[in-house]
């Protein structure tokens, strides 16, 4: 499901941050094309 796919990683500061999602996706063989961490405070 992730290997070879282009991943859009939408994280949130109070949850899991975009960088953490992107690191896991890359390690699983995906290409991360967008990585964001949103904050609503």
Partner 1 sequence: MAEGLDRDDVVVLLGTPTEDASRLYAMTVTSGDPSWAGALAGVALELPVYHVTEDAVRAEIAPEDYDEHLALMTMAMDVDAIAGAVRGVREKTV
Q: C-beta of 2: minimal distance to partner 1 in Å?
A: 5
Closest separation in Å from C-beta 8 to partner 1: 5
Say if residues 3 and 25 touch (Cβ distance below 8 Å). Answer: no
Interface residues with partner 1 (CB under 8 A) are 1-12, 14-18, 20-21, 23-25, 27-28, 30, 33-34, 37
> Taking the complex as a whole, how short is the minimal distance between the CB of residue 33 and partner 1, in angstroms?
7
Write the burial class of residue 26 (CB in 10 Å: 0-12 exposed, 13-18 middle, 19+ buried). middle
């Amino acid at each position: 499901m992730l290997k070879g796919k282009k991943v859009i990683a939408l994280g949130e500061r109070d949850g899991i941050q975009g960088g953490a999602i992107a690191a896991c996706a890359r390690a699983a063989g995906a290409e991360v094309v967008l990585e964001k961490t949103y904050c609503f405070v």
